[in-house]
Structure 1
Amino acid sequence: MQRRKSRPVRLGSVTVGGGAPVSVQSMTNTDTRDVAATRAQIKRLVKAGCEIVRVAVPDWEAARALPEIKKGLSVPLVADVHFNYRLALAAIEAGVDGLRINPGNIGGRDKVAAVVEAAAQKRVPIRIGVNAGSLEKDLLRDGITPEAMVESALRHVAMLEEMGFFDIKISLKASDVPLMAAAYRMLADKVDYPLHIGVTEAGTAFAGSVKSAVGIGILLWEGIGDTVRVSLTGDPVQEVRVAYEILKTLGLRRRGAELISCPTCGRTQIDLIKIAGEVEERLAELDRPLKVAVMGCVVNGPGEARHADVGIAGGKGEGLIFRKGQVIRKVPENLLVEELMKEIDNLVNGGN
């Protein structure tokens, strides 16, 4: 695929746009005022592969917590601020690596100018975050449309550009996938700023993952998108895992194991659903790219397992363990998971 050309924006240690790999980000759902809980969740997110972390800054107590949250972090920290420009100034002073604001809701032009001046001095990028659910009233004459979303974004971009600020990222979030995709396509042709893509308020882990995979996947396949967030109701660690699955499926990033497992049928003679679930759970924290096949019968099983780095092909109450295309051994069903994990450990750690 041919990726859209965008200008690079530096967010701490991460480059967004400019041909850099599509980065994965998430947002904490802890109370930002609770430093210990927020840092613990960020640690889990980073372990899962999150490369940019955003926190909500709804009040002064949350703003005052930012320096402690930021201390020693290995990933960029972005402050999400609405309605109060002074909170944005406090976040910049606290040392955040980026801001997510809607310039239209933090006060008049003088207040936006104050934030822009502080951000420019500290070299803090600003993400203009347009949401379909909170567009300016004068843009809703024809309802919520892609044109209205793009016009909102361009207004805010123009405001920052007039102030001499160009360290900008843009997002156009909507819960409606066709609306969101159309808006991003339209904007992509009008500006060269990097785009943060995602389906907002996507839903629970199941429905939200499907909706996000469709929406984000469509745009990425068209070359649109420089950083992604999968928005799910639940543990944000799951957002990171789903994001990497989308990127892996499109061949854009390889992190962690790719699990191939068959859908099961009447030929399956092992408890493949249970085995695949256990393997997936145990592979969740593996950060090395690896293809693992868990197959249930002799029709496609051996072929798929041979093409994986390591795999299982099931038989009647037993299965073959494959490694790099070669049969290693036959083991009973109750030992398949453990024996497979031994081969994965050997592969990852350079054993025989």
Structure 2
Amino acid sequence: MTRSVQCGRIQIGGGAPVSIQSMTNVDTRDEKALLRQIQELEEAGCDIVRVAIPDMEACESFAQVRKKTEVPLVADIHFDYRLAIGAIEAGADKVRINPGNIGKAEYVQKVVQAAKERHIPIRVGVNSGSLEKEILAEYGGVTAEALAKSALNTVRYMENLDFDNLVLSIKSSNVPMTYAAYTLAAKETDVPMHIGITESGTPSNGKLKSAIGIGGLLLSGIGDTLRVSLTDDPVQEVLFGQRILEAVGLREKSIEIVSCPTCGRTEVDLISLAEETENRLIPVAKRRQEKGLRPLKVAVMGCVVNGPGESREADYGIAGGKGEGLLFSHGEIIGKVPENQLVDRLIEMIEKEE
């Protein structure tokens, strides 16, 4: 088991549930936009939000936003150690620094001292795109061994400074390399691991790589907090992170949707029907989870062959026909309604149970 680290109200490691992170992509200097996006991420189920601090103006905006939200905030720092110290003084719950670009050892020491005084953790964030020159020379380029060594070197350096309030991330866009690097590091330290596949790409490709990489690590027992990195709205990172945790059995689904593949018998627009149902059930599922309500199974079926049977097995269900469909509630047929009213009626039934 990894050691326990506290990031605001969220425990990382030490047997705590795996938390979900994302990162804002608005201009940090725009205080209103930053606060709005943090609130959107929190509503989607984000546990910890990381914010880029590129300059002191951003640091000042970060300080104001910190006063207006209770969401744990991580200050993302590159190159300038003074920004890390400024963010810590502004109330950051954690800071992320990259050993490949933060500079001299004395700069790291100053950041460590500031974090120690405020009792907040530091995330050592190693990235394949910014490894130290000497390590690149030693290994002849970016390798899993090089990534692990860079991470462990920094961890040991900080621990020698009598600072063990640490989180570690070792990211690459290469899935096998990332998996190997985390596996190597996990054998050498009990520091909690922040996992993810960096720069994973567009939603379709990024979700695939993240599911394999993050899912593989979680199934092997590695990972205390995660971020799905997508070229997309950060809210989508949070939602897909939840799906990964559900797929590996680390988070219970409050609503499980079962839908059939399309075939020549399908006489409704099942693809749109299933997508609309899934999207509209997201806030419902979140409310049910917060209230501690029992998990639900919802079926969205496309024809009369398996549709009625599957729908009867679910708590609620739709079985489509030609331009219309049947509504099911706990195994009983509620009625037949036009296709364009199916999702509305389904949501109404589910919300009544709240």
**TM-score under structure 2 length normalisation:** 0.93
Q: Which amino acid aligns with 2:203?
A: A
Of the three residues 279, 291, 301, the one matched with 1:295 is 301
Tell me, in whole angstroms, the C-alpha distance in 1 between the residues paired with 2:22 and 2:53.
15
The CA deviation string for residues 124-160 of structure 1, in whole angstroms up to 9 with x for no partner, is 1000001011111222233211111000001100110
Unaligned residue ranges in structure 1 (runs of 5+) = none
Question: How far did residue 329 of structure 1 move?
Answer: 2.5
Please name the residue that 2:33 is paired with: 37
In structure 2, C-alpha distance between the alignment counterparts of 1:94 and 1:297, rounded to whole Å = 58
1:242 maps to amino acid? F
1:209 partnered with 2:207: yes
Whole-angstrom CA distance in 1 between matches of 2:314 and 2:226: 28
Q: CA deviation at 1:273?
A: 1.4
Q: Which amino acid aligns with 1:305?
A: S
Given that 2:100 and 2:131 are in contact with CA atoms closer than 8 Å, whether structure 1 keeps it comes out as: no
Other-structure match for 1:132: 128
Q: Give secondary structure in 1 for the equivalent of 2:60.
A: helix
Distance change in 2, residues 1:101/1:227 (3 Å)? same
Among 83, 89, 93, the alignment partner of 2:89 is 93
State the Cα deviation string for residues 32-71 of structure 1 (Å, max 9, x = none).
0111001011110000000000000011111111111111
1:123 aligns with 2:129: no
Q: 3-state SS of the aligned residue for 2:283?
A: coil
- Aligned CA distance change for structure 1 residues 139 and 304 (closer, same or farther; 3 Å): farther
> Are the counterparts in 2 of residues 256 and 284 from structure 1 also a CA contact under 8 Å?
no
Distance 1:184 1:304, change over 3 A: farther
- How many pairs does the alignment contain? 344
1:224 aligns with 2:230: no
Cα distance, 1:256 vs structure 2: 5.2
Residue 318 of structure 2, aligned match among 312, 325, 332: 312
Moved over 4 A (4+): none
CA separation in 1, counterparts of 2:105 and 2:81?
11
2:28–2:53 contact (8 Å) kept in structure 1:
yes
Which of 318, 331, 340 aligns to 2:337? It is 331
Are 2:99 and 2:126, in contact at CA under 8 Å, matched by a contact in 1?
Answer: no
Distance in 2 between residues matched to 1:301 and 1:224, nearest whole Å: 40
Instruction: Call closer, same or farther: CA 1:143–1:325 in 2, change over 3 Å.
Output: farther
1:204-235: CA deviation from partner (whole Å, max 9, x where unpaired): 11211111111111111112111110001121
Cα deviation, residue 72, structure 1: 2.8
Matched to 2:319, the amino acid is A
Taking the TM superposition and a 5 Å limit, the aligned residue runs for 1:23-34 are 23-34=19-30
RMSD: 1.5
Whether the 8 Å contact between 2:94 and 2:120 is mirrored in structure 1 is: yes
Aligned-partner SS, 1:218: helix
Tell me which residue corresponds to 1:15: 11
Q: How many Å apart are 1:255 and its aligned residue?
A: 5.5
In the alignment, does 2:54 pair up with 1:48?
Answer: no
CA 1:197 to 1:304, structure 2 compared with 1: closer, same or farther past 3 Å? farther
Which structure 2 residue ranges, 5 or more long, are not aligned? 290-295
In 2, Cα distance between equivalents of 1:258 and 1:171: 31
Aligned-pair distance for 1:302?
3.1
Q: Could you tell me which amino acid in structure 1 is paired with residue 221 of structure 2?
A: G
AA aligned to 1:90 is G
Task: Tell me if structure 2 keeps the 8 A contact 1:104–1:156.
Answer: no
Q: Distance in 2 between matches of 1:279 and 1:117?
A: 51
Letter in 1 for 2:232: G
Partner of 1:110: 106
**Which whole-Å deviations, capped at 9, do the CAs of 1:276-332 have from their partners, x for residues lacking one?**
122122123230254322111233333432343322122333322222333333323
Task: Report the CA distance between 1:200 and its aligned residue.
Answer: 0.3
Relative to structure 1, the CA distance from residue 342 to residue 238 in structure 2 (aligned partners, 3 Å threshold; closer, same or farther) is: same
Q: Distance in 2 between the 1:109 and 1:19 partners?
A: 32
Q: In 1, Cα distance between the equivalents of 2:331 and 2:133?
A: 61
Report the Cα distance in structure 1 between the residues aligned to 2:331 and 2:119, rounded to whole angstroms. 51
- The percent identity for this pair of structures is 57
- 8 Å contact 2:199–2:229 — kept in the other structure? yes
Contact 2:99 2:132 in 1 (8 A): no
CA contact (8 A) 2:34 2:65 kept: yes
Question: Take 1:314 and 1:192, find their aligned partners in 2: how far apart are those partners?
Answer: 52
Task: Choose 164-173 or 296-305, whichever is displaced more.
Answer: 296-305
1:284 match: secondary structure: helix
Cα pair distance change 1:117/1:143, threshold 3 Å? same
Q: Distance in 1 between matches of 2:156 and 2:335?
A: 65
1:66 aligns with 2:66: no
Give the 3 Å change call, closer, same or farther, for CA 223–309 of structure 1 in structure 2: farther
Contact (CA 8 Å) 2:100, 2:126: kept in 1 or not?
Answer: no
2:273 to 272, 275, 290: 275
Deviates more, 1:31-40 or 1:100-109: 100-109
1:185 Cα deviation after fit: 1.3
